[in-house]
Every structure is written in structure tokens, then in C-alpha cells.
Amino acid sequence: MNGSRRFLSPKVLAAISRLDLKARLIVEGFVSGLHQSPFHGFSVEFADHREYTPGDDIRHIDWKVYAKSDRFSIKEFEEETNLKCTMLLDVSESMRYRSGETSKLEYGSVLVATLSHLLLHQQDATGLVLFDSDIRRHVPESSRPSHILAILAELDRAVAEQKTDVSVLFHKIAEKIKRRGMVLLVSDLFCPVEPLMRGLKHFRHKRHEVVVFQIVDPFERDFPFEDNTLFKGLEGYPELLTEPRSLKAAYLKNFRDHAEAIRKACADQRIDFVQIGTDQPLETVLPRYLALRARR
């Protein structure tokens, strides 16, 4: 299926059309587009030279070229925003689960695509990392409008098959991202809290702004099972035959405690934590979140 049709919903896009995703925390770089830099200089990517014309900023004269050619040349730079957003999408096997029409992976993919579209629309750069126990795909950040197609193509190809293991992975990704920017994690977060938070802390240590979107299925959130059920665990977990009603209370406590622990830990790190159920329409959830961010 065409990725744009699959992951970019006109309804969702329409819902966020008047919103933007601003970096909340100060990022490096000069102001270009929507974001402010604390520094006067800027760090941009060199694109080309042009002949000096009176009035150009003499700070941009490439003296090495002058030395060689005895001509004054001005460095031309790719106009780059300060916001570079890296989307981390969990494609582990657990993301395959669905109780209704939409799996967590599909929902997450829509979320990623929508946010990518938003960022590109506001001329920010966005990239994508698909991960499970390792990095499966990496689409480097770019602010070109056509970059959305690359992102959508990867989303379309994504398959949830492997186990989750973020204990080393996030550190690896953190080292890969050179410039400060935003890291948006889209996952069900079905992993131990400690290694997860260590990874997220690493991003924070690197001065990235981190937003965590936990995607949960309504059945995982509410555990509505009644009759005898054989639960076959994904990601290599053993199966369990049980009367769900007898475990419901304990399960929900474990589930909520886990989410609460992550939320608390995120709050301590000034990381936004948003839990979204796949039964919640994104056109309602996302605008709400973006508006909330905008008010802060």
C-alpha cells in the first residue's frame, strides 16, 4: 500500500494543521525558521561558494579560497533549522499486537509519519530509526520536504519480529546523533524501566529534548478477558493458561505501576511522557498534546 495513504491521514493532518512542534528546550544553532539559538554564530552545513559582493557579511569570506585564488568568495550554507528531530520507532514483536483494527506498530507509524510531516512542514529536519534489539533501519535527518517519502517508505516496510532490548541500543543511538535536537521515542515500552531510563538519560545528558510516546493497546490497558484463556507470549515469553479474572487486578497493577514508574522517571528528567491507546483517535490526542506543549 502506498505509505502516504497508509500513514498520513487527512483527518489527522487537518487536525494539526494549525499547530507546530516547537522545541521546548533551548537548542544550539541560530534562529532559522521557528527556533532561537543562544549563540550568535551558527553551525550550518557548507553547501557552495559564490563571488563576494559588497554588502556581504565579511565573516563568511572563505579565506582559504582567497589564499589560493586571490579572490574573495562567500561561503554558501544549506539553510538549516536548529531543530533536528530523530524519531525512534519500536518495531519489536510486541508492537505487532492488536486487539482491534490497528496494531501498535501501525498506530505508532501513523504517529511518526504525522509528526514527520509536521516537522518538515515547519522546515525542521527529521529522521527515523527503527529499532528492536538493534537498529533495523536509519533514515538520516533532513529538512527537505521530499524527505517524508523516504520516511514513509521505511514505515511501510517495517515488520515487527524481534525482541526488544534497549539496554545498549539507546546508548548507541545517542552517540550517533551529533547535534542536539529532539528525540521522539514511539514504543510500547514493554521493557525493564532501568535500562530504558538509562538510555533516555543518555539522550538528556547529550542535551536532547526527549518526548516519549507509549503506545498501548486497549486490551493491554484494560485486560477485559473473562473466560479461560491461553496467553501465548510474544518476544519469546512462555505461554500461560489461566482464568483472566483471577489475575486481572494484579495484572493491571503491574501494568500501571510500570507506566507510572516510567512517567515518574521521565518527569524527573524533564521528559514528556504521553500514553496513547490505539483506540484513541490521533486527531484528538495529538492536537491536544501539541497545544499543551505550546502553552508551556
Partner 1 sequence: MFPGFANPLLLAGAALIAIPILIHLLNKRRFRTVEWAAMEFLLQAEHKNRRRIQVENVLLLILRCLLVALIVAAVARPQVRKGSLLSIAAGATPTDRVVVWDDSLSTGHVSGSGTCLDAMRDDLLRILPHFETDWRSDALTLVRTSKPTVPDYFRFAPRGAHRRDAEARIRQAAPTARSANLVACLESVRERVSGGAQVPKALYLLSDFRATDFAAAGAGSGLEIVLDKLAKEGWGITFLDRGADDVENTGIVALEPEEKLLVANAPVRFSARVRNFGDQPVGPIEISFKTSEGVVPAAAIPSIPARGEAFRSATLLFSSPGSAWVEATASADRLAGDNARAVAFTVTSGLPVLLVNGEPKAEAFGDETAFLAFSLAPPGAVVSGFKPQVVLDRALHPGSFEGFPVVILANVERLPEDVLAALERHVSEGAGLVVFPGTRTDVDSYRAEWFKAGKGLLPVPPIEARSAPREAPARLSPDGIDPRGVLRVFEGSDNPSVRTLQIGRWLALEEPAKDAGVEILARLQTPAREPFLARKAFGKGRVWFFSISADRDGSNWPTLPSYLATLFPLVEDAGSRAEASRNLAPGAPLVVTYPAAKCERRIQIRPPGKNALVEIDGAAVEGTALYRAEFADTENPGVYTVVLKEHERGETFQHFTVNPEPDEGDLRRIPHSELERRLPAVKGIQWVRDVDDLFRASAPEASEIWRTLMHLFLLLLAIEALLAWRFGRGA
Residues contributing to the site for partner 1 (CB under 8 A): 93-97, 104, 188, 190, 217, 220, 225-235, 237-238, 240-243, 245-251, 253-255, 258
Residue 236 CB, shortest distance to partner 1, in Å, is 9
Coil, strand, or helix at residue 30?
Answer: coil
Nearer to partner 1, 58 or 230 (CB): 230
**In sequence order, what are the residues at sequence separation of 6 or more whose Cβ sits closer than 8 angstroms to the Cβ of residue 138?**
127, 128, 129, 130, 176
Please answer whether residues 148 and 174 qualify as being in contact, where contact means their C-beta atoms are separated by less than 8 angstroms.
Answer: no
Residue 60 CB, shortest distance to partner 1, in Å, is 54
Please answer whether residues 254 and 221 qualify as being in contact, where contact means their C-beta atoms are separated by less than 8 angstroms.
Answer: no
Nearer to partner 1, 119 or 160 (CB): 160
Burial (0-12, 13-18, 19+ Cβ within 10 Å), 181 = buried
Nearer to partner 1, 77 or 223 (CB): 223
Nearer to partner 1, 9 or 167 (CB): 167
Nearer to partner 1, 43 or 229 (CB): 229
Distance, CA of 136 to CA of 150 (rounded, Å): 15
Cell of 51: 563571488
Nearer to partner 1, 55 or 238 (CB): 238
Which among 83, 74, 87 has a CA at the least distance from the CA of 32? 83
In the block, which residue shows the cell 515487527?
Answer: 160
Residue 216 CB, shortest distance to partner 1, in Å, is 8
Residue 9 CB, shortest distance to partner 1, in Å, is 24
- Within 10 A of 63 (CB to CB), how many other CB atoms are there? 9
Residue 191 CB, shortest distance to partner 1, in Å, is 9
Residue 268 CB, shortest distance to partner 1, in Å, is 23
